[in-house]
Structure 1
Amino acid sequence: MRQLSRLFVISHVFFMGFLISGTAFAETSPIVEETPSISMIEAIPDDNVAQEIHSVLEPMISAFPPLQTRPRHQRIDVNRVVLDFYTHRQFRAAWTNPDDVTQLLKSLNDTQVDGLEPTDFRGDDLAMAQASMQNTSPTPAQQAAFDLAATRTYLTALLQLRRGKVDPARLDMHWNFDITGADPRDDVENFFTALDTHDVARAFAQAPPQEAVYVGLRQALAQLRAIRDRGGWPKVAAGESLKPGMDGPAVAQLRARLAAGGYLDSKHSKNNDYDDAVIAAVKKYQTEQYLGADGVAGATTLAALNVPVQARIDQVRVNMERARWLLYKLQGTFVIVDIAGYKVALYRDGLPVWRSRVQVGKPFRSTPIFQAEITYVTFNPTWTVPPTILKEDVLPKILSNPNYLSANRIRPLDREGNVLDPSTIDWSNPRGITLRQDAGPENSLGQVVIRFPNDYAIYLHDTPHRDLFAKNVRATSSGCIRVENPLQLVELLFNDPVRWNSAGIQKQLANGKTENIRLPVKVPVLLAYWTVDMGNNGRVAFKPDVYGYDDPVLKALNLPAKLPALDLQAAAGQGRP
């Protein structure tokens, strides 16, 4: 009955969603049950500490009136969870076992391994308060203050580990990743169960993502911090490119830097020549860091090598935070686009079954980050030129080349869809026209478009610009995602080896008709942004932050948490009269 009672109370908490230290949990169902009134629930009469806890929490009751509606992104402060937690236990203290507090303090300090800041959680305040209470006879008010502070800290730390500290919706107004796939009510229930069973350490061990990529990032963070604590990695003198056959102090620095990063055997690090071992190490580094793998340590490679280790530590911390936002979404069958990595993958049952390179939006026409569902595929698509591209790209080409439209099989249409004679249009000030490119292999969308309805007119598609896939930096589109092998993805999305095998898809394309075909099952698609990769060798690779998204996340991650200070001295004078 106790478990059922707690679940009942917690379920009402999440009718509002959840916000803790800037971290949001959004509920999307429009159905809302009224939160039961708790104003009549009293503390256990003969428990003085419970009476004090009730006295502290009672003024909060009016701050959480019953809900009649639930907006999509309405959120609730962690105090709401604290209130309902103590309500279901009749305001009895939760931290009466000293071992629970010991586990809590150690676990708070250990949050550093996940890239969080232990000082955010005021563990020192709790430790000092615990020591003070052990050496004196604390009043019920002091015991209540300590208990409430421990519970708030416990929840704050665990939910940051579980879902992240930073609210991504505050950094991106279009953020629409919901909590489908992992009910936060289960998380909170598990936290409180661990406390009841005096297994606080287990709650902290299980709260962060358990996926291998996250574990790898945690290990990489520890390794980078160890390098930092030893003084960082060697710096390579900037200047001329270092090439095979060269020798001298700069090459010796390069060798030392490659050895420090694990790319070159340390026994070879003392030499001064640019030999085959250095060439192989430089190529390996360039490949992992999304640089041109030519074996020459040019300006770009040297700049990457000389990024301070602290900056790489921050980059890993930022991407661990992104992992806490999104890894719980990666379940079942889904397509994920790694924007900063210029690649796409299809997963089934959580395992990758297909990968391909992609081209994404240029920095000034960035591909947005969002989730949607792939619902249909367009074969032999036409392409309607978007207004921005019409104004900024196409019109200048038309003005400089009268044959541009016919060469690219583009037709001007009026508002009713009638084809216009290009010679009758004032191209210096065209009004009320649409440009549409005929279907065909040279169409800007290629032979196929993979559609997922969204507010940005973004989709996955084929492209005639296939040469651009060979580039290392592939932020080359106007926002949509160009896929290197789209027909393979189409076949996997339909997942119908009889009707929609490779031959069936080619037959559909051969008829030349522009046709939309719905998928038998909708497939989630996630457009995400990570600036690190975990290689099969367990080493972290760093990608260029093509859109400059890392810095805002880092700044928010470094902001102090807003947990109130614990002052037992003040609490002693604020007890019940």
Structure 2
Amino acid sequence: MLALAGCDIQQPQADKATAGSETAQRPRWSTQAAGQLRQAIGRRAAHGLDQMPFALAGEGDAELTRVALAYASALARGATDPAKLYDLYTVPRPAPDLKAGLADALRTGNVTAWLDSLAPRTDEYRRLSQAYLKLAAQPMSPPANVPAAGEMIRPGMSDPRMPIIAQQLVNLDYIDVRAAQGTRYTPAMVAAVKRMQADYGMKPDGVIGSEALAILNMSDLDRRRAIAVAMERMRWLERTPPPTRIDVNVAAARLTYWRDGRIADRRNVVVGEPDKQTPQLGSPIFRLVANPTWTVPRSVQNNEIAQKGPGYLEANDMEWKDGWIVQRSGPKNSLGLVKFDMQNDQAIYLHDTPAKALFGMVQRQRSHGCVRVEDALGFAAMLARDEGVEEEWNEAQASGEESFVKLPRRIPVRMLYQTVLFDQSGEPIVRNDPYGWDDRVGAALGFKAGRALRVRSGGGDIAP
């Protein structure tokens, strides 16, 4: 089970999607349709599925149907089942009737068009596919293996590792080969490293330390696997998500607010530490809580507060109530001045925080599992205005006491995990995999090797 010390206990839930209609007639395959299936499977690298065989064991209708449905399911819902890969996964998934779809494709004689229609049709998926095919078409370069031992390399320094670093920057298209010469860390090299750091969500200071070296030591196979995993995660998602929703990318610690099909807001968040992971949930916000109190979970109470004594409780506006430690409303409250109540069994929710400095950090996996929102009061005001409860929210906030404002409609929230983002030119960039969750997906997709970019973070506080 995932440890969510500050956000209560979670219970795994099984994937409830069905495999399809049992009423479809037994398919009959023509030679043309069988050829279309083989050709489609032969092009499966466009979906990052070339490490999986989808092999035909015979020529009969039953075997062709079996393989067609297996490949169609991989395109439509993913080749892997996230509910089996993770203890908890409740994000809504597609549930197409593949048997009926195959029967219709065979009846019209166009298996190719049917299979092509199943995978995501977004620009992001298309760009991932193009990047994967480009990597698959070229010889796989080995990792650079820049030695991590030694001091950080600062602008103007000379270091024997610079030629290897320079070659890798050339390979990654951050610098021209003519500007990558010698052992000195030149201004041109510094500019290239800063661009790389910005792309990967690091502080662009030009200093080459352990995080920059982790990026430079990634091989083409590492990137290829990460892109295949990213496409697989997209296939897990329903093709027409709610037009008004909130998506939290836990891997990148970023929130995106969609309103009527358009991006209305983006902001940083703080999510669970690697040993207190924020799970992949689908769960709606149903109310806003102004000036929340916080009932400290038993695990935090016993493991992190019990030894601190009564002086700690007084200094942090905490008191005992009915055997629980409760933190009173106010600026010291660990939930800040607003909580976004969500409907789930894991006590996971979005909230404010008094620890504002965490939002400026590059690696923001520092909570006990809940999601802290940058400028949460501003975000709450935005939701209240959009949902027509602005007056009620303002009154609740001004009361200074814990108050609840029910939303007229629930806003779906999806806790996603995506380690491949896109730079300003639309090119995919492999980012940090803070929980190491790409490893199990990559292995399930048939990748025998490859490593994710792991930049560990920690140093969280007692808050959820």
Calculate the TM-score normalised by the size of structure 2. 0.86
Match in the other structure for 2:363: 473
Opposite residue 322 of structure 1, the aligned amino acid is: R
% same residue: 32
Opposite residue 105 of structure 1, the aligned amino acid is: R
Opposite residue 339 of structure 2, the aligned amino acid is: V
Once the two structures are superposed, what CA deviation does each residue of 1:160-209 show, in whole Å capped at 9, x if it has no partner? Answer: 11110111111224322344xx5512x54444323222222212222111
Match in the other structure for 2:321: 413
Alpha carbons 1:469, 1:484 under 8 Å: kept: yes
Match in the other structure for 2:230: 319
Match in the other structure for 1:518: 406
RMSD of equivalent CA atoms: 2.6
CA distance in 2, matches of 1:486, 1:358: 10
Match in the other structure for 1:72: none
Structure 1 residue 273: Cα displacement: 4.0
Match in the other structure for 1:184: 96
CA distance in 2, matches of 1:359, 1:119: 36
Structure 1 residue 334: Cα displacement: 0.6
CA distance in 1, matches of 2:272, 2:365: 5
Say which SS state the counterpart of residue 163 (structure 2) adopts. Answer: helix
Match in the other structure for 1:289: 200
CA distance in 2, matches of 1:403, 1:118: 59
Alpha carbons 1:216, 1:534 under 8 Å: kept: no
Alpha carbons 2:273, 2:366 under 8 Å: kept: yes
Say which SS state the counterpart of residue 308 (structure 2) adopts. Answer: helix
Match in the other structure for 1:419: none
CA distance in 2, matches of 1:256, 1:468: 35
Opposite residue 86 of structure 1, the aligned amino acid is: Q
Opposite residue 427 of structure 2, the aligned amino acid is: R
Q: Which structure exhibits the higher relative contact order, with contacts defined as CA atoms closer than 8 Å and separated by 6 or more residues?
A: 2
Say which SS state the counterpart of residue 236 (structure 2) adopts. Answer: helix
CA distance in 2, matches of 1:538, 1:207: 23
CA distance in 2, matches of 1:170, 1:250: 43
Q: Which runs of 5+ in 2 are unaligned?
A: 1-13, 449-464
Match in the other structure for 1:86: 25
Match in the other structure for 1:428: none
Q: Which runs of 5+ in 1 are unaligned?
A: 1-23, 28-74, 88-92, 130-145, 415-432, 561-577
Alpha carbons 1:383, 1:438 under 8 Å: kept: yes
Match in the other structure for 2:455: none
Structure label with greater radius of gyration: 1
Is 2:267 aligned against 1:356? yes
In structure 2, which of residues 16, 19, 31 is the aligned counterpart of residue 26 of structure 1? 16
Is 2:312 aligned against 1:404? yes
Say which SS state the counterpart of residue 374 (structure 1) adopts. Answer: strand
Structure 1 residue 320: Cα displacement: 1.4
Calculate the TM-score normalised by the size of structure 1. 0.70
Specify whether residues 147 and 270 from structure 1 end up closer, same or farther in structure 2 by C-alpha distance, changes over 3 A only: farther
Say which SS state the counterpart of residue 43 (structure 2) adopts. Answer: helix
Structure 1 residues 404-483: aligned runs within 5 Å: 404-414=312-322, 433-483=323-373
Is 2:27 aligned against 1:111? no
Alpha carbons 1:235, 1:257 under 8 Å: kept: no
In structure 1, which of residues 174, 185, 205 is the aligned counterpart of residue 116 of structure 2? 205
Structure 1 residue 538: Cα displacement: 2.1
Structure 1 residue 101: Cα displacement: 2.3
CA distance in 2, matches of 1:527, 1:482: 13
Structure 1 residue 434: Cα displacement: 1.1
Structure 1 residues 26-425: aligned runs within 5 Å: 26-27=16-17, 84-87=23-26, 94-96=28-30, 98-117=31-50, 120-123=53-56, 125=57, 146-179=60-93, 183-185=95-97, 187-227=98-138, 229=139, 231-232=141-142, 234-240=144-150, 241-247=152-158, 250-270=161-181, 273-328=184-239, 330-398=241-309, 402-414=310-322
Say which SS state the counterpart of residue 411 (structure 1) adopts. Answer: strand
CA distance in 1, matches of 2:434, 2:238: 22
Structure 1 residue 383: Cα displacement: 1.0
Say which SS state the counterpart of residue 304 (structure 2) adopts. Answer: helix
Specify whether residues 248 and 457 from structure 1 end up closer, same or farther in structure 2 by C-alpha distance, changes over 3 A only: closer
Once the two structures are superposed, what CA deviation does each residue of 1:185-234 show, in whole Å capped at 9, x if it has no partner? Answer: 2x54444323222222212222111111211211221233345x153465
Once the two structures are superposed, what CA deviation does each residue of 1:229-271 show, in whole Å capped at 9, x if it has no partner? Answer: 1534655344433332235653232222112112223443456
Opposite residue 330 of structure 2, the aligned amino acid is: G
Specify whether residues 212 and 327 from structure 1 end up closer, same or farther in structure 2 by C-alpha distance, changes over 3 A only: farther
Alpha carbons 2:46, 2:132 under 8 Å: kept: yes
Alpha carbons 1:174, 1:370 under 8 Å: kept: yes
Alpha carbons 1:208, 1:324 under 8 Å: kept: yes
Structure 1 residue 310: Cα displacement: 1.2
Alpha carbons 2:194, 2:204 under 8 Å: kept: yes
Once the two structures are superposed, what CA deviation does each residue of 1:120-160 show, in whole Å capped at 9, x if it has no partner? Answer: 2115x56xx5xxxxxxxxxxxxxxxx222112211211111
Paired residues, what number?
A: 434
Match in the other structure for 1:71: none
Specify whether residues 231 and 496 from structure 1 end up closer, same or farther in structure 2 by C-alpha distance, changes over 3 A only: closer
Once the two structures are superposed, what CA deviation does each residue of 1:414-450 show, in whole Å capped at 9, x if it has no partner? Answer: 3xxxxxxxxxxxxxxxxxx211111112211100000
Say which SS state the counterpart of residue 487 (structure 1) adopts. Answer: helix
Say which SS state the counterpart of residue 397 (structure 1) adopts. Answer: coil
CA distance in 2, matches of 1:102, 1:198: 11
CA distance in 2, matches of 1:368, 1:231: 34
CA distance in 2, matches of 1:303, 1:496: 42
Alpha carbons 2:420, 2:428 under 8 Å: kept: yes
Say which SS state the counterpart of residue 122 (structure 1) adopts. Answer: coil
Q: Which moved more, 1:380-389 or 1:232-241?
A: 232-241
* Higher normalized helix content (fraction of residues): 1
Structure 1 residue 499: Cα displacement: 5.1
CA distance in 2, matches of 1:154, 1:257: 41
CA distance in 2, matches of 1:484, 1:331: 23
CA distance in 2, matches of 1:278, 1:353: 37
